[in-house]
Every structure is written in structure tokens, then in C-alpha cells.
């Protein structure tokens, strides 16, 4: 049997408002052709992000009722702490309201002017929190990780030679930590091999620099190790996760990804000195160390989510259903970033729409048409997002992609088949798609609020 069935039944449902193309033409026009400004109720399939959009299980909803809301020393904190420590056995586990709060606290402690923090590829909030302290974030992903059409099993790997050369160039004293993001979100959700984590740790050990993991999609990364790396086929996901973190000295985590909840995060680390400083900052901005920025019920839901996310049946369904979407788009002749990553499919809009120049935003044009044609909301990751330069001029981005991020346990195969059909139909008429122009934009982060219109 080849059909991948969802390894769950549905107990509670949310209606999807079915709209017509004529209605969607009105809605998107009112939103000035910016999908971020569209009300979510007007979307049929929402692929804007996989962050905080997971369905919780019946067990997690049960955990919510068990939450103990005591200000200090709540049993829910201990349940959370034990669930995290079971997979990521760090000495100090500090809850935060989401991933960027953990980053803010960590880099406030270890960042600052003159410091450099290497990573395979920094996520945008990670980079922003590093730079806010005056430090510099540096991306050292392997060359293969930058070529969208190239097949490689671990395109998230860090370039070990460049890492060591970088440490020697900048000086050990200026590098407070080395980071690895698993999976590499900004690089297409591509995994990092165990061998690469181990070798990164060897370099860190040689220079006495701690290794921190940006752990958001740790379980998806572990599944890729199990299925793609020699020697792991018979190791349980839980043991692969434990080995991954055995090489690290700490981690930051957004529970909105692989903890299967809608809000939450943590900072975990071994250093007593850093943990002390982090807890002081935590009290200032997040809350008392046994709840961080969260309610007791959130801590309970995370604890249960961590038990569920390492299930092999769940991860098999998760990764294979993402691959299913990617493979069918490829079969339909639609160019995507390869191989398919864990949490999203990235369409190469520049390659798909060669008649639309990068400065006429092929990614935005495709994203608008996906909404008009089928009510699908996706996210442009290209010249709209990265093209505006600090001096106000514009430059084409390295790539013009459209990301289809897939919420966890939310959509069924028939939803995905609908998306495949819609994109196949759009591809057949792609020459009719028009370029877009920006009619208004803010000075920064323009993709969230800019207004667009079609070029005639
Ligand atoms: C989402 C994400 C973050 C930030 O987490 P938030 O919970 O959104 O603040 C950091 N790193 C990576 C790799 C992420 O995907």
C-alpha cells in the first residue's frame, strides 16, 4: 500500500469558508494584493506559516485542563522541565513565551559589539536579536545548500572548513557560541547530519566554544537522520534526538514548531553563570523562572506535545506528506527547491515565470494567483521580502521563491490534492500571469504591509 494515511482521527473540526473567484477578487483587492493583510477567514488553505498553527491532540487538550496556575513552583513547570530534559538533557531549562524571547535573553547575555555568532543559516529573528546587541551573525552553510535545484541529503550542514577558518580569523575570544539550526529553516527546511553536528562539536571543543542548537524542528531533523544517514535506520527517534543534543551545550526553542503547540518556547543551557544572568533578564521581561511568559496550561500542553512529536508514525506522515506535495508539483513541471524539506515546499517562481522580471516580483504574482484561483495563501520569499536596500534603492533578491508552509496535523490528503490541482491549472496558464508593482511601502520589513497592484 502506498497511500500515506493521516495517523489520527478528527474529533473537533473548524469550518472552511468556501469562496468564489469573484469574491476573492474583491477580498484581495481590499487587501491591496498583500496576503498578510487578508483576513484568515477568507482563506481556504492557509500555508502562510507552520508556526503556532499546529492542531493539538485530545491528550494535549486534556493537559490544558491539568495546568496548575501557581505563580511559583507549579507542578506544570516540573512536567514541562522533565519532558524537555528527557530529550535535551541540559542543566537549566528556562521557559519563554516563544523562540525569539529565548534568543533575546541569550544574546543579551552573550552578545555585544565585537562578537560574532556563526550558524548554518540564522533565522531572521535570531539574526535580528544578535544584531540588536551590536554582534554580527554569520551564515556558513555548505555551498550545496545554496543551490535550489541540487539534490543533497543534508543541505543544512555547516561548512566545517569555513567555520574553523572563521574562528581563527576572528579570534576565539570574540565567538561566544557556535550555532546550528535544525532543520535549516531559512535554507529551505533542510536537515543537518549527525556527522556534521558531531564534527561541529569537535571544532567547538578544540577552541573551547559552546555549541548551541536552534532546535525548532529537532524532531523533523531526527527523522531525516534516521532515513538518510548511514547507521541510524534502527535507532529510535528519541535516541537520535538525545544524541543530537548530547553534542550541544544549550539550545533555543520555539515550541510553536516541533512541540505541537500554539505558543511557547525555551532557553536551555549548561552554564550556571549564563543561566543565572538569563533568569534575571527573564524576570524582567517574561516572568518568574517557573513559568516564563507562559500559563501553567501551556507548559502542560508542551510537555504532552514533546511526547507526541517523537512518534515515528507522526514523523513519517509529516515528512512523507510534504514530499507528496513536492513530488506532484515536480511531476506537473513546477520547479521547486530540492530535495523537499521538512515543513514546507518552496516554488521557484523566477524559474516558473521567466516572463516576469525579478523587479516585477514573480513570487508575489504567483502568490496572488494562488489565492485568486483557489483561495490558497502562501508567502513570497524573494525580491519583495529582501529587495529593498537600506539606501531606498532596490535590488533583485538571490531567489524569488513562494513558500508553502504546512501546518502540523491540520490538512488532509484531499486538501493537498486540491492544492496540487490548483497549481497544475495555474502552471498551464502561467503565461497569462502579470508582473506586480508596489504602490506604497514602509521603510522596513515592507512585505508585511506594502500595497501592490498589477502592471498592465
Ligand atoms: C520560528 C523560528 C524562530 C523564532 O521563534 P518564534 O517562536 O517565532 O519567536 C527561531 N528560529 C527558527 C529556526 C524558527 O523557525
Is the domain of 350 the same as that of 256?
A: no
Cα(81) to centroid of ligand 1, in Å? 20
Looking at the structure, tell me whether residues 42 and 137 fall in a common domain. no
At 335-348, the pLDDT tens digits run 999 999 899 999 99
pLDDT tens digits along 264-293: 999 999 999 999 999 999 999 999 999 999
Distance of CA 347 to the CA centre of its chain: 16
Atom of ligand 1 nearest to the CA of 100: 9
Atom of ligand 1 nearest to the CA of 101: 9
304/348 same-domain check: no
**Mean pLDDT calculated for residue range 184-190:** 87
Domain that holds residue 246: 58-309
**For residues 345 and 366, what is the distance between their CA atoms, to the nearest angstrom?**
14
Query: What is the best residue among 97, 106, 257, 406 to mutate for testing ligand 1's pocket, by most ligand atoms within 8 Å of CB?
Result: 257
Q: Kindly state whether residues 305 and 319 are assigned to the same domain.
A: no
Residue 12 lies in a domain: no
Query: Which runs of E-coded beta strand occur in 91-228?
Result: 92-96, 116-119, 136-139, 178-181, 211-214
CB 301 within 8 A of CB 60: yes
User: Are both 175 and 282 inside the same structural domain?
Assistant: yes
Task: State which ligand 1 atom lies nearest to the alpha carbon of 185.
Answer: 13
pTM score, whole prediction = 0.95
Cβ-based burial of 344 (10 A; exposed 0-12, middle 13-18, buried ≥19):
buried
Mean of the per-residue pLDDT values of the chain: 96
Does residue 253 lie in a domain region? yes
Residues 365 and 332 in one domain: yes
Q: What is the pLDDT of residues 159-173, one digit of tens each?
A: 999 999 999 999 999
Structural domain contains residue 237: yes
Do 302 and 211 lie in one domain? The reply is yes
Nearest CA to ligand 1 atom 5: 99
In a shared domain, residues 117 and 168: yes
Question: What residues are in contact with ligand 1 under a 6 Å CB criterion?
Answer: 51, 98-100, 123, 125-126, 181, 185, 214, 216, 254, 256-257, 265
The 10s digit of each residue's pLDDT in 251-268 is 999 999 999 999 999 999
73 in the same domain as 222:
yes
Edge-to-edge strand list for the sheet holding 401-405: 344-348, 401-405, 379-381
Q: Closest Cα to atom 8, ligand 1: which residue?
A: 99
Amino acid at each position: 500500500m502506498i497511500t500515506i494515511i493521516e495517523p489520527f482521527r478528527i474529533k473537533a473540526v473548524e469550518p472552511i469558508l468556501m469562496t468564489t473567484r469573484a469574491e476573492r477578487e474583491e477580498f484581495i483587492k481590499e487587501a491591496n494584493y498583500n496576503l498578510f493583510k487578508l483576513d484568515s477567514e477568507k482563506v481556504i488553505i492557509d500555508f502562510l506559516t507552520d508556526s503556532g498553527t499546529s492542531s493539538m491532540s485530545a491528550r494535549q487538550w486534556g493537559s490544558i485542563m491539568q495546568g496548575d496556575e501557581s505563580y511559583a513552583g507549579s507542578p506544570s513547570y516540573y512536567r514541562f522541565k522533565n519532558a524537555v530534559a528527557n530529550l535535551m538533557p541540559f542543566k537549566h531549562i528556562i521557559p519563554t513565551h516563544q523562540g525569539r524571547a529565548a534568543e533575546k535573553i541569550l544574546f543579551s547575555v552573550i552578545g555585544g559589539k565585537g562578537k560574532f555568532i556563526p550558524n548554518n543559516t540564522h533565522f531572521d529573528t535570531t539574526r535580528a536579536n544578535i544584531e540588536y546587541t551590536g554582534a554580527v551573525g554569520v551564515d556558513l552553510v555548505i555551498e550545496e545548500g545554496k543551490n535550489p535545484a541540487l539534490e543533497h541529503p543534508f543541505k543544512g550542514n555547516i561548512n566545517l572548513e569555513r567555520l574553523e577558518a572563521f574562528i581563527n580569523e576572528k579570534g576565539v575570544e570574540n565567538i561566544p557560541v557556535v550555532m546550528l539550526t535544525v532543520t535549516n529553516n531559512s535554507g529551505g527546511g533542510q536537515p543537518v547530519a549527525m556527522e556534521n553536528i558531531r564534527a561541529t562539536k569537535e571544532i567547538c571543543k578544540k577552541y573551547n566554544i559552546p555549541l548551541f542548537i536552534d532546535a525548532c524542528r529537532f524532531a523533523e531533523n531526527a527523522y531525516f537522520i534516521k532515513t538518510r544517514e548511514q547507521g541510524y535506520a534502527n535507532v529510535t527517534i528519541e535516541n537520535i534526538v538525545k544524541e543530537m543534543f548530547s553534542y550541544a551545550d544549550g539550545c533555543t526553542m520555539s515550541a510553536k514548531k516541533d512541540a505541537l503547540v500554539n505558543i511557547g518556547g525555551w532557553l536551555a543551557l549548561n552554564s550556571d553563570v549564563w543561566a543565572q544572568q538569563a533568569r534575571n533578564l527573564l524576570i524582567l521581561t517574561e516572568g518568574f523562572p517557573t513559568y516564563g511568559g507562559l500559563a501553567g496550561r501551556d507548559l502542560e500542553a508542551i510537555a504532552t506535545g514533546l511526547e507526541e512529536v517523537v512518534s515515528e508514525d507522526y514523523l513519517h506522515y509529516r515528512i512523507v506528506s510534504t514530499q507528496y506535495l513536492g513530488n506532484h508539483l515536480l511531476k506537473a513541471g513546477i520547479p521547486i527547491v530540492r530535495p523537499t524539506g521538512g515543513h514546507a515546499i518552496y516554488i521557484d517562481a523566477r524559474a516558473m515565470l521567466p516572463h516576469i522580471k525579478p523587479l516585477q516580483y514573480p513570487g508575489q504574482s504567483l502568490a496572488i494567483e494562488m489565492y485568486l484561483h483557489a483561495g490558497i495563501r502562501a508567502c513570497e520569499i524573494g525580491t519583495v521580502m529582501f529587495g529593498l536596500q537600506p539606501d531606498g534603492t532596490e535590488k533583485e533578491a538571490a531567489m524569488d521563491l513562494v513558500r508553502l508552509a504546512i501546518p502540523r496535523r491540520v490538512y488532509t490528503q484531499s486538501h493537498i490534492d486540491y492544492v496540487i490541482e490548483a497549481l497544475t491549472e495555474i502552471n498551464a496558464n502561467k503565461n497569462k500571469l502579470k508582473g506586480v508593482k508596489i504602490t506604497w511601502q514602509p521603510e522596513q520589513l515592507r512585505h508585511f504591509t506594502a500595497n501592490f497592484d498589477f502592471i498592465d
